[in-house]
Chain A
Amino acid sequence: MGLSYRGHRPPLSWLHLTFIALGGLVLFFIVAPILGIYLKSTYGEIAEVAKEAEVRDSIWLTLWVSMAATLVFSIACVPFSYFLARKTFPLKGIVMGIIDLPVIVPHSVAGIAILTVVSRDTLIGDTSEWLGIDLIGTPWGIAAAMAFVSVPFLISAARDGFAAVPERLENVALGLGASPLRVFLTISMPLAWRAIASGLILMWGRGMSEFGAVLIIAYHPMIAPVLIYERFGAFGLKYSRPISVLFMTVCLLMFIALRLLASGKKNAEG
């Protein structure tokens, strides 16, 4: 009987130790500020701000608007991602570039850009006003700003997920008499589900953490990042830190819960 590879793992070389040390530095860079903000805050401070209606409202607003923006945009983004994964067409490279554009545009610029097309006297602004939707200074505008900066995360993840689904499975389903829509809903979507869910979580998380673009489109009603910024500007670090901790804790808990939920299903990668 042969020994397993695991049993014969070679000792770590200096190169590997160097890589581990570098990785440790990066991890420390991420963990230290987060840990620091927790260690500097006391339970009493956090409980105090949790009692404030303004704080609670802003956190709730941030959560539901980012969630709503994600779900509404997913209706268009998920089928579009499938199309991108399966089809080649002229100028596909340019389309892919456009999708990634919001990632590199500075977020304050994104806010100004959105404002340019949704303000009154523009086609979108007038149309939405006619529909009774006011985009400036409302949750609608917040959702638009959040979606603008976060939509590439969903499309990229879903596109990769669909690309990993073997086309052969879809062909077999078609051969068994399924319509293309049925194939999409019963084969492609379930098999790409984990990637789509990951994209949804990323889009939601990125939207929730947006500050710059939202600040320009809708300072009020205040989402949590704007409220934290305002408290910092008006009262300083001591007063903005407990809200930051509270908001981050809520976000972390939701992030972990959704990740656990999404990891339960099988997908194309098994």
Chain B
Amino acid sequence: MLKVESLSKTLGSFSMREVSFSIDRGEYFVLLGASGVGKTVLLEAIAGVIRPDAGRIYLDGLDMTNLRPQNRNIGLVYQDQALFPHLSVRQNIAYGLKCHKTRRSALKAEVVRLAESVRASELLDRDVDTLSGGEAQRVALARTMATKPKCLLLDEPIASLDTRSRGDIRSLLRELNRQGQTILHVTHDYEEAVSLATRIAIMEDGRIVQDGSPESIFHSPKSEFVADFVGIKNFLRGSLGPATEGEQLREFIGPDGISIWILSDEEAGPGCLIFRSEDVTISIEQPVSSAKNAFKGIILDIIPAKIGMEVSVQIGVEISALVSRSSVSSLDLQAGKTVWANFKASAARFLCA
């Protein structure tokens, strides 16, 4: 649907080099990279706000590299929302509709419908400078969705929000994507990426260095940079069970029915579980400890990591533990050996999908 081919742009000392990727219709594509690697430049090039030095951009097979921004049918939402400060919320949302010559009679109802769709009905008559970050982001989304963009580009839409608003906007974005909206979202936050993406690309130094499903990125980082950047190797999709009263200890059912205990106050339902390999310990016998999760498994591989050794253990799913070299030798760890992999319920973090 959206195809970017060898896109390059140099702006002062910064350069984006030969960036290529494609997004299918209905996909939620997250571009993950540290701040200042050129994510915003890439979005602005796709939106037509800046002209690339080289490369092509196609939307539904149509070359739109040289199209004017107003003719691209691409919606761009910035981190700072860029709401028009001299217009009310209602006028902000109506702006794109007026540009598309929506009839006056239909305009009012359409603005109300859009505001409802982002849960911003009560904000319509407010001045934009009275909105909180989350409210402003909802209005910015409604304003952009008014033009029915073929692809929605989001520039760090959650980064500057408080925790509660983050959850709200995340669920709103999921909802939009479920309704079929194709989304390209750039962020530096891997949790944001994991909780939203159907596909992730990692951007390093102006280039895309890895592109694939969240699982493949987390399980098999192609470079040290990707591994360092995502940081967490243990990533499982599954579903969180309901909470029992007065207890935050919950059961997460992962792939192949594996049951993991975690502490979480998230809503029950599908999502993913992440935990750091540093938090997983290896023992020969079943430990007697407060760790709620102890799994018997077989060591698949032991490879040197930047610090220590990374031990992959098959416990029904493959998980990774980071242990010291001395532990590897004192426990005589080697591929094929049966061991116990253990971690605390508080070490795992559930991100709802």
Which residues of A line the B interface, CB within 8 A?
A: 166, 168-169, 171-179, 182, 186-187, 190-191, 265-268, 270
Contact = CB atoms under 8 A, between A and B. Distances in A.
A268 B99 contact: no
B70 A175 contact: yes
22 contacts: A168-B82, A169-B82, A171-B44, A171-B49, A171-B82, A172-B76, A172-B82, A172-B84, A175-B69, A175-B76, A175-B144, A176-B75, A176-B95, A176-B96, A176-B147, A177-B96, A177-B99, A178-B96, A179-B99, A186-B95, A266-B86, A270-B129
A169 B48 CA distance: 14
B127 to A, nearest CB: 9
Contacts of B100: 177
Given A171-B47, A191-B86, A176 B99 contact: yes
A174 B85 contact: no
B95 A268 contact: no
Nearest to B96: A176
B144 A268 contact: no
Interface in B61-117: 68-70, 72, 74-76, 78, 80, 82, 84-86, 95-96, 99-100
Nearest to A169: B82
B143 interface: yes
B85 A178 contact: no
A176 B85 contact: no
Contacts of B147: 176-177
Q: How large is the interface on B (under 10, 10 to 19, 20 to 34, 35 or more residues)?
A: 20 to 34
B75 A174 contact: no
A182 B99 contact: yes
Contacts of A186: 95
Contacts of A168: 78, 80, 82
B341 to A, nearest CB: 49
Interface of B: 44, 47-49, 68-70, 72, 74-76, 78, 80, 82, 84-86, 95-96, 99-100, 129, 143-144, 146-147
A173 B80 CA distance: 15
A168 B40 CA distance: 12
A166 B48 CA distance: 17
Contacts of B99: 173, 176-179, 182
Contacts of B82: 166, 168-169, 171-172
Grouping DSSP codes into helix (H, G, I), strand (E, B) and loop, the A interface class, with mixed when no group exceeds half, is helix
A178 B70 contact: yes
Nearest to B101: A177
Contacts of B143: 176
A268 B96 CA distance: 20
A17 to B, nearest CB: 38
User: Which of B44, B68, B85 has the most chain A CB atoms inside 10 A of its CB?
Assistant: B85
Nearest to A267: B86
Contacts of B76: 171-172, 175
A116 B256 CA distance: 93
B87 to A, nearest CB: 8
Contacts of B146: 176
A169 B84 contact: yes
A172 B78 contact: yes
B94 to A, nearest CB: 10
Nearest to A182: B99
B286 to A, nearest CB: 54
A109 to B, nearest CB: 42
B68 A175 contact: no
A228 B86 CA distance: 44
A175 B47 contact: yes
A268 B47 contact: no
Nearest to B76: A175
B308 to A, nearest CB: 45
A166 B82 CA distance: 9
A185 to B, nearest CB: 12
Nearest to A173: B95
Given A175-B49, A175-B76, A176-B143, A187 B84 contact: yes
5 smallest A-B Cβ distances: which pairs? A176-B96, A177-B99, A174-B69, A171-B49, A178-B99
Contact of B69 (A169, A171, A187): A171
A188 to B, nearest CB: 11
A169 B78 CA distance: 10
B85 A266 contact: yes
User: Which of A174, A177, A187 has the most chain B CB atoms inside 10 A of its CB?
Assistant: A177
A174 B47 CA distance: 10
Contacts of B44: 171
